[in-house]
Amino acid sequence: MMADNTTLSTLVQLSRELGNPANDYAIQAEGNTSARIDADTFLVKASGYSMRDIDEAGFVAMRFKPVLDILDGPTLSENDLKAALNEAKVDSSVQARPSIEVALHAILLTLGGAQWVGHTHPSAWNALLCSRCAEQAASGRLFPDQVVVCGPATVYVKYTDPGMPLAQEVRRQVQNYIDEYGITPKEIVMQNHGHIALGQTALEVERIIAMSVKAARIMLGSYAAGGPNFLSKADVSHLWTRPDEIARRKLLVR
C-alpha cells in the first residue's frame, strides 16, 4: 500500500512547520512526526533528518502489526531490532531507517486514537519538564482555551529511555488516561524529554502544540509569580463538555 501523495506532502508541511526555528519546538534532528495511511500502515519520519528542511524522502511507510508485535515480544538486541524494523517497512528495499520512536508513533496512531502526531522538544515545555516542578506543571489546566484545544488533561510520563521502553511506558499511561477520562488524549509530556501532540488532522497537531507551548510559557510565568492557580476539576469538565466549546473545537480541527 503506497501512501497517497496528499498525506505525504501534508506530513512534510507539518514537519517543516514544527521544525521552523521561529517556533522553538525542535532544532537539528530533534523531534519526529507521523500520519496514518490506512488501517494497516503509517508514515513516520526517518532517522537523522532535520524537520526544518525535510522532504518526501525523509519518511518511511511502516506496517502497524509487526511494529506493535515487537513491543509485546522479548527484548531484542540492537541488530535484531534493526532487522525487525526493516521487515516492518511496507517496502523493505527502502534504505531510510524509521525514527527510534517508531513504536511510540504506532501506539499513538492506534491506542492513542490519533491520525497525525507531532513530537517535539519545545524550550518552554522543557524548562518545566527538566525542573523539579515537572509533574505538578503537567497536572492541571490554567485557562479555558487550553482545555478547548489541548483537552481536559495532559498525559504525564516519567523519564524513560527513548525507544522501546518509552513506547511501552507511553502505552501504559495512555491506557490509564483512556480508563480515567473515557477519551483519547490530545497531548502527552515526557519528563526531561518533550511534548507530543495527537491530532485528527495535521492542522489540529499544529494548534495543539501552539496552544500547549503558550500554556507552558504562562505556567513558567505563574511559577515566577508565586505558583500556578489551576482551574478546578469542575470548571475543566464544564469547559470540555459545554456545547458552544464543542462546536468551537470542531471548527478548530477542520
Are 143 and 218 a contacting pair, CB within 8 Å? yes
Which grid cell is 196?
507530543
As measured in angstroms, the least distance from the Cβ of 172 to Zn ion is 18
Binding region for Zn ion (CB under 5 A) out of 55-63, 65-73, 139-147, 188-196? 188-196
Residue 7 vs 32, nearer CB to Zn ion:
32
Number of residues that bind Zn ion (CB under 5 A): 1
DSSP string across 224-252: HTTS--PPPHHHHHHHHH-HHHHHHHHHH
Which grid cell is 183?
477519551
The distance between the two most distant Cα atoms of the chain, rounded to a whole number of Å, is 56
Helix intervals (H) in the chain = 5-18, 64-72, 78-87, 102-108, 123-129, 134-137, 144-150, 164-181, 202-224, 233-241, 243-253
Residue 150's SS3 state is: helix
Residue 58 vs 152, nearer CB to Zn ion:
58
Angle CA(140)–CA(146)–CA(147) in degrees, nearest 5?
A: 70
Residue 98 vs 194, nearer CB to Zn ion:
194
Are 98 and 160 a contacting pair, CB within 8 Å? no
Alpha-carbon distance values, 55 to 13, 17, 38, 95, 243 (Å): 9, 12, 21, 15, 40
First vs last C-alpha separation in the chain? 26
Binding region for Zn ion (CB under 5 A) out of 3-11, 172-180, 189-197, 222-230? 189-197
Give the residue at shortest CB distance from Zn ion. 194
As measured in angstroms, the least distance from the Cβ of 66 to Zn ion is 23
As measured in angstroms, the least distance from the Cβ of 24 to Zn ion is 15
Are 135 and 155 a contacting pair, CB within 8 Å? no
Residue 152 vs 194, nearer CB to Zn ion:
194
Residue 51 vs 148, nearer CB to Zn ion:
51
Residue 25 vs 240, nearer CB to Zn ion:
25
Residue 8 vs 190, nearer CB to Zn ion:
190
- List the interface residues with Zn ion, window 80-139 (CB under 5 A): none
As measured in angstroms, the least distance from the Cβ of 241 to Zn ion is 33
Binding region for Zn ion (CB under 5 A) out of 35-43, 46-54, 186-194, 222-230? 186-194
Q: Which residue has the cell 488524549?
A: 185
Per-residue contact track with Zn ion, 8 to 37, x per CB under 5 A?
------------------------------
As measured in angstroms, the least distance from the Cβ of 177 to Zn ion is 19
Binding region for Zn ion (CB under 5 A) out of 43-51, 59-67, 178-186, 190-198? 190-198
Per-residue contact track with Zn ion, 139 to 178, x per CB under 5 A?
----------------------------------------
Q: Which residues lie near Zn ion (CB under 5 A)? A: 194
